[in-house]
Amino acid sequence: MIDKVLSKKLKSLITIRVIFVTLLLGSFFILQVGYRDFPHPRSTLNLIIALYTLTIVYAILLKRVKMYALFAYVQLFIDASAVNMLIYLTGGIESWFSFIMPLTVMSAGTVLNKRAGYIIATFNSILYGIIIDLQYYRVLPLEYDTTLTEKAFLYNIFAHISAFYLVAFLSGYLSSRLEKTSQALEQTDSDLRDLELFNEEIIENIPSGIFTTDIKGRILIFNRAAEDITGIGRKIALRQKIDGIFPFINPPIPPLPKGGERELETMEGVISHRKEGDRIIHLTVSELRDITEKSRGFVGIFQDITQLKKMEAEIKHKEKWAAIGELSANIAHEIRNPIASLKGSVEMLRENIVTEEHKKRLTEIALKEMDRLNNIISDFLTYSSPRPAEFHTFDLNLMLDDTLELLAHTASVRENLTITKNFNGPLFVSADQQKLRQVFWNLGMNAIEAMPSGGELSVNSRESDDFAEIIFRDTGAGIPRENLGKIFYPFFTTKDEGTGLGLAIAYRIIEEHNGKINITSNNNGTTFKVIIPNVNGKA
């Protein structure tokens, strides 16, 4: 990895050097500049030609050499020596070529590292310092302008050395920065690739079917589970539109409001599997948006729920039979009690051993038990074979008024029991008046029965949104928590004379009206809240 980078850098070093030397050589031949000014024009030309030859040698060696760093150092030292030689040959302190020395420092800093930059800078400083010093003391056979003072020489050396180190610092700094940035980029790049692979793995291995489509519904991704569930291979799927695979997506994909919330569309439908026949599919589709919130298509996730549906149907079937069984047992129990006491009374009457007064009482008991039997049976009939609801528009408040009036006149209402109404004006609903009357009658009777020693039943009704809300609140004993879940069951009763069918019937009727019954209860009383839709006759 590092070797590869270094060999690439060496290649560019060699190339740049060729260009540089060629330019220098070319200008020498073409322009003949300095031919007269240079003290040693011939040797200068020779040096340039030697460098050119060396370059060819480097280029050949580059393919064979293994120790790139050493190879780089050799080149850099030769470069630096050659430049100093060039400077010597072209006049020492008066040479035009001292600008090339910082270039050798720079190439050391960029090709290798900061340290190499400083090494070449030091090497240059020593060589250059020696040449200029020796020139000043006239040890070297180099002429110079006699106006140049010792100070000028020293300053020249100082300026050059400063430049070398500055360049070494800058090039080393820049190249290490560059290195770090490119390393970070490479890391990010490979992280992204890993993430992409990871995502693909996840999508492939998720046990739910997943697809994505473009804006027009053409399939782009179709995972393994999708293939299994639909029985359609990916290659075929990728050539289709989504409604070709899920015909129940119709219109192909729901148009979504612009800039609106990401909507989820859930649907169920049937597809025909190549091998397994009809399958029921549960599918959720939502829009796919990019980071700029622009719509890119759709993403869907789906499961085969055929088996689940089958089980659900089986359970429902079983539950139905269990409920019928329980109901029959309850009816038998409810009917057997009054029959037993009826039988008892009649037997005693037959024995003819009772007094006249006793006879009267027994007859009364027999009649009462017969009434009770009759009640149970008619309540049960209302519960078990209800006539279908007939919806008409009527004033609910008026009907409530009537019902409460009748309740107030029943035998069980004593003096210390008050019934208050908190509603006025008409409240029109579309419902089955007969059936709703039965609901409110049952709720009212229960409230009265819950307050044997008096209290208050208050009835409210109001309209909210498209619903009518009717509230029966009593100050009775309340319903114990453990019974709250059972009071709507048929035959659940806590009363000696109760049938346990009142609330069961009420529940069924409210359900028929798509309404709801809520209960809250504590030992200060109980509140039943009935909610029914279709206010103002709106169906």
Determine the interface stretch with Mg ion among 87-95, 175-183, 328-336, 442-450 (rule: CB under 5 A). Answer: 442-450
Residue 450 interacting partner from Mg ion, ligand ADP, none (CB closer than 5 to 8 Å by kind): ligand ADP
Each residue 92-131 as x (binds ligand ADP by CB under 6 A) or -, in order, gives ----------------------------------------
Residue 515 interacting partner from ligand ADP, Mg ion, none (CB closer than 5 to 8 Å by kind): none
Of 167, 281, 400, 447, the residue at the interface with ligand ADP (CB under 6 A) is: 447
Residue 447 interacting partner from ligand ADP, Mg ion, none (CB closer than 5 to 8 Å by kind): ligand ADP
DSSP-derived pairing of the beta strands 295-304 and 277-289? antiparallel
Whichever of 86 and 400 has its CB closer to Mg ion, that residue is 400
Whichever of 412 and 434 has its CB closer to Mg ion, that residue is 412
Of 502, 521, 534, 535, the residue at the interface with Mg ion (CB under 5 A) is: 502
What is the number of the residue whose Cβ is closest to ligand ADP?
A: 502
In angstroms, the CA 310 to CA 515 distance is 29
Query: Is residue 446 part of the contact set for ligand ADP (CB under 6 A)?
Result: yes
| Segment 246 to 265, residues that bind ligand ADP, using CB under 6 A | none
Whichever of 47 and 400 has its CB closer to ligand ADP, that residue is 400
Residue count at the site for ligand ADP (CB under 6 A)?
21
Query: Is residue 458 part of the contact set for ligand ADP (CB under 6 A)?
Result: no
How many C-beta atoms lie closer than 10 Å to residue 259's C-beta? 6
Nearest partner of 13 among 49, 55, 45, judged by Cα: 55
Whichever of 300 and 502 has its CB closer to ligand ADP, that residue is 502
Minimum CB–partner distance for residue 504 and Mg ion (Å)? 9
Each residue 179-198 as x (binds ligand ADP by CB under 6 A) or -, in order, gives --------------------
Check: CB of residue 148 under 8 Å from CB of residue 93.
Answer: yes
Whichever of 32 and 418 has its CB closer to ligand ADP, that residue is 418
Whichever of 300 and 502 has its CB closer to Mg ion, that residue is 502
Query: Is residue 455 part of the contact set for ligand ADP (CB under 6 A)?
Result: no
Greatest alpha-carbon span in the chain: 167
Query: Is residue 476 part of the contact set for ligand ADP (CB under 6 A)?
Result: yes
Check: CB of residue 256 under 8 Å from CB of residue 287.
Answer: yes
Of 446, 521, 526, 534, the residue at the interface with Mg ion (CB under 5 A) is: 446
Whichever of 109 and 502 has its CB closer to Mg ion, that residue is 502
Q: What H or E segment, with its residue span, contains residue 300?
A: strand 295-304
Exposure b/e, 320-331, CB count within 10 A at least 16 = b:
eeeeeeebeebb
Minimum CB–partner distance for residue 255 and Mg ion (Å)? 52
Nearest partner of 420 among 478, 469, 472, judged by Cα: 472
Beta bridge partners of 295: 289
Give the helix ranges, DSSP H, for 385-525.
396-408, 433-449, 481-484, 502-512
Long-range contacts at 123-129 (CB < 8 A, ≥ 24 apart)? 123/77, 123/80, 124/80, 124/83, 124/84, 124/160, 124/164, 125/160, 125/161, 125/164, 125/165, 127/80, 127/81, 127/84, 128/84, 128/87, 128/98, 128/101, 128/157, 128/160, 128/161, 129/157, 129/161
Residue 284 interacting partner from Mg ion, ligand ADP, none (CB closer than 5 to 8 Å by kind): none
Q: What H or E segment, with its residue span, contains residue 328?
A: helix 306-351
Of 442, 461, 475, 534, the residue at the interface with ligand ADP (CB under 6 A) is: 442
Phi-psi region of 514 (alpha: psi -120 to 50; beta: other; left: phi over 0): left
Check: CB of residue 120 under 8 Å from CB of residue 80.
Answer: yes
What phi and psi, each to the nearest 5 degrees, are found at residue 281?
A: -115, 135
| Segment 481 to 500, residues that bind ligand ADP, using CB under 6 A | 487, 492-495, 498-500
Residue count at the site for Mg ion (CB under 5 A)?
2
Query: Is residue 444 part of the contact set for Mg ion (CB under 5 A)?
Result: no
Tell me which amino acid residue 256 is: L
Long-range contacts at 371-377 (CB < 8 A, ≥ 24 apart)? 372/338, 372/497, 373/335, 373/338, 373/339, 373/342, 375/499, 376/331, 376/334, 376/335, 376/338, 376/499, 376/501, 377/335
Minimum CB–partner distance for residue 502 and ligand ADP (Å)? 3
Of 396, 503, 510, 532, the residue at the interface with ligand ADP (CB under 6 A) is: 503
CA angle centred on 438, ends 423 and 472, rounded to 5°: 40
Residue 208 interacting partner from Mg ion, ligand ADP, none (CB closer than 5 to 8 Å by kind): none
Determine the interface stretch with Mg ion among 70-78, 118-126, 276-284, 439-447 (rule: CB under 5 A). Answer: 439-447
Minimum CB–partner distance for residue 495 and Mg ion (Å)? 8
Whichever of 247 and 480 has its CB closer to Mg ion, that residue is 480
Whichever of 298 and 472 has its CB closer to ligand ADP, that residue is 472
Of 14, 407, 479, 532, the residue at the interface with ligand ADP (CB under 6 A) is: 479
Residue 493 interacting partner from ligand ADP, Mg ion, none (CB closer than 5 to 8 Å by kind): ligand ADP
Determine the interface stretch with Mg ion among 244-252, 332-340, 371-379, 498-506 (rule: CB under 5 A). Answer: 498-506
Q: What letter does residue 495 receive in the DSSP assignment?
A: S
Dig out the tokens for 441 from the structure: 């009658």
Residue 495 interacting partner from Mg ion, ligand ADP, none (CB closer than 5 to 8 Å by kind): ligand ADP
Nearest partner of 424 among 450, 448, 400, 388, judged by Cα: 400
End-to-end CA distance of the chain: 77
- One-character DSSP codes across 498-533: --S-HHHHHHHHHHHTT-EEEEEEETTEEEEEEEE-
Of 79, 526, 532, 535, the residue at the interface with ligand ADP (CB under 6 A) is: 526
Which residues form the interface with Mg ion (CB under 5 A)? 446, 502
Which residues form the interface with ligand ADP (CB under 6 A)? 442, 446-447, 450, 474, 476, 478-479, 487, 492-495, 498-504, 526
